[in-house]
Amino acid sequence: AYIRAAVAKGLLGQVMAVHLAGHWDHNWVGTHAVFNTVHHIILYDYAIHWFDMINCYTPGLKATKVYASNAYAPNQSAKPPLMGQVIVEFDGAQASLQFDASTK
């Protein structure tokens, strides 16, 4: 909330780059009948909130390109891939998201 307010007040100047990362254990989805069948669970169910953050940190900018991929972690027990990454391009700005959801 602090960063969102700082951006809204112009305290950070023009934001031209946003890079966010999360590292946690999300293997619990393997115990949930529905979540364990959602192939893009990290990008679909989790990353959506991080897309909102990028939007808050880059007011007035529209994404021109978005690239995303996911992968299986060697130590994961859940069925869906638990690693994901996203690159967002804007005119004059960029953003990236990194999700490593099988840390133990």
∠ CA 57-61-7 to the nearest 5 degrees?
25
pLDDT digit string (tens) for the chain, length 104 residues: 999 999 999 999 999 999 999 999 999 999 999 999 999 999 999 999 999 999 999 999 999 999 999 999 999 999 999 999 999 999 999 999 999 999 98
Residues 78 and 30: beta-carbon distance below 8 Å: yes
Residues 96 and 67: beta-carbon distance below 8 Å: no
Residue 104: the pLDDT is: 80
Give the C-alpha separation, 9 to 41, whole Å.
34
Residue 11: the pLDDT is: 96
Residue 8: the pLDDT is: 93
Residue 39: the pLDDT is: 95
Residue 70: the pLDDT is: 96
Residue 34: the pLDDT is: 95
Residue 85 backbone phi and psi in degrees, to 5: -145, 150
Give the C-alpha separation, 61 to 69, whole Å.
23
